[in-house]
Amino acid sequence: MSIASELLAATDRLISDLDGLTFSEPVAVTYNPLTYARRSHEQYLKRFANSKKRVLMMGMNPGPWGMAQTGVPFGEIPAVRDWMGISAPVDQPDPEHPKRPIEGFNCEKSEVSGRRLWGLFSEAYPNPEDFFRDHYVVNYCPLVWMEESGRNRTPDKLPKAEMEPVSTACDRYVKRHLELLDPEYAIGVGAYAETCLARVSKAAGLNPKPGRILHPSPASPAANRDWAGTATKQLKELGVWEN
């Protein structure tokens, strides 16, 4: 079985493990784009997770205008559609939050984190095949939690008891990525992802070189001051990219 097929099986296991979990207030609605945006996620996986990688980068969970719409991590639509060449019909989640509609590739809003992340990578590697030859990007958790107001609720804000089954499932999913992609470097996009990667690597007895780059979220003042320059410097200091 190919690496991509093995990871697709791990994705199916993750979907099954997360299906049916419930979350207390203030969470009002939960999305899993691995289900309703399955076709585009599968394109991403089959096209780009088809070989071992030197660098695995991991984010936390989907943003409302990125992976929540496209099924691709940090899935800013122009980057996914125009640079990666991925596009597919996206179904509607059930229930759908009235303030967070899923419009798929017709969504006109921009995922700033994804625009910054994929913007840097596409500038450094105009041909996506060149980037994905050595790199792959995954999210730790595929779930999107939303409050009644439509506000995002991130995994680190959920009660420990509610996150335990989520973390168990997501740790297993990440472990399969580490085993199958066998990266030299495991880089967290932000502190939360770095911590998750370190925990999973240690529990699995795997030893990729750890590291972190600044998360590109506009909620971070530091990210709003030349995020691309900061991330490039960090990747060079880690030895991931050449000086």
Q: Which domains does the chain have, with CATH numbers?
A: 3-238 (3.40.470.10)
- E runs forming strands in the chain: 27-31, 55-59, 135-139, 144-147, 152-153, 185-189, 209-213
Phi-psi region at 95: left, alpha or beta (left = phi > 0; alpha = psi -120 to 50): beta
Q: Is-contact 181 135, C-beta < 8 A?
A: no
Q: How confident is the model at residue 243 (pLDDT cuts 50, 70, 90)?
A: confident
Quote the CA–CA distance of 23 and 21 in Å, as a whole number.
7
Residue pLDDT, tens place only, 160-213: 999 999 999 999 999 999 999 999 999 999 999 999 999 999 999 999 999 999
What's the Rg (C-alpha) of the chain?
17
Tokens of 37: 């945006």
pTM, entire model: 0.97
